[in-house]
Amino acid sequence: MHIPVLKKEVIDFLDIKENENFIDCTFGEGGHTTAILEKNKPEGKVLAIDQDILQIEKAKNQKENYKDRLILINDNFSNLKKIVEKENFKNISGILLDLGMSSWHIDESQKGFSFQKDEILDMRYNRAQEISAKEIINSWLESELEKIFKEYGEEDFSKNIAKKICDIRKEREIKTTFQLVEIIKKSVPNFYQHQKIHFATKIFQALRIATNKELESIQRVLPQALDILNKQGRIVVISFHSLEDKIVKNFFKEQEKEGKVTVLTEKPVEAEDLEIRENSRARSAKLRAIIKLT
């Protein structure tokens, strides 16, 4: 069962009132959206966006429950302003971005997000986009691979892993998750293979971020979100990676210096022990929130 991360905190920081309109930029499996719709009834609406058409298709039963109060859009949230204009969605009281990957993508999507399943290396949330993880692994320069492994994965053995990938792909195309895991295993010391965190975790994370241009999308969406928001409206962002959190933190601070917002979270809000025990995904979650002043 899908458990939305920091659900209570999201609802509290959005400060939802009845009949207000909200945007969930990262619909996923709909946990946060459903919680918002329960609070903003009877007339409040949620514009819910997801890159993955399969997630939108799965949500049709929720659409039936909420009728015209739930508007489902298959798109990248980096196009937020265009989406809002096209849907004529107005009077926006709050915007949520939960930047974490849904458990469905790992467990069921068959797109190669998990190093524990033998699947084709894809990792595209939207398969309409051109570049996949497989193409990155098989065509990017060794220096480029090392760079994303180091920057997006914070991987200590980035150089070794990038070199081994380039050596192997001269002999054969690297197509599957298990092929990549085996290459990573051969590239790192024995002790590294027996850490608490699986030795392939950081490389898979880096590949996912690079494939979907996740950091660029965050940088693009934040100014748009602030622009379309009502005065006194709120933005809540949950990040799961230090680079994501840094982008959000810096944007919020800059806007506060300019007098456009008040930051509601001096430090990021993190999950309590009980939630982490019930949902391990919450362990690395960091929530930040602002209120728009002008």
- What one-character-per-residue DSSP string does 169-220 give? HHHS---BHHHHHHHHHHHS-GGGGGSSS-TTHHHHHHHHHHHHTHHHHHHH
**Element spanning 54, H or E:** helix 53-58
Domain ranges of the chain: 7-104+215-292, 110-212
* Strand pairing category for 21-24 and 234-239: unpaired
Asked if omega into 4 is within 30° of 0 (cis), the reply is no
The domain made up of 110-212 has a fold known as DNA polymerase; domain 1 (1.10.150)
- Provide the pLDDT for residue 129: 86
pLDDT at res. 101: 76
Measured CA distances, 249 to 45, 159, 217, 239 (Å): 28, 30, 15, 10
Low-confidence ranges of the chain (pLDDT < 50): none
**pLDDT tens for each residue of 142-172:** 999 999 999 999 999 999 999 999 999 999 9
pLDDT digits (tens, 9 = 90+) for 178-189: 999 999 999 999
Same fold, 7-104+215-292 and 110-212: no
Give the model's pLDDT for residue 130: 84
Residue 137's identity, in one-letter code, is I
For the domain covering 7-104+215-292, report its CATH number. Answer: 3.40.50.150
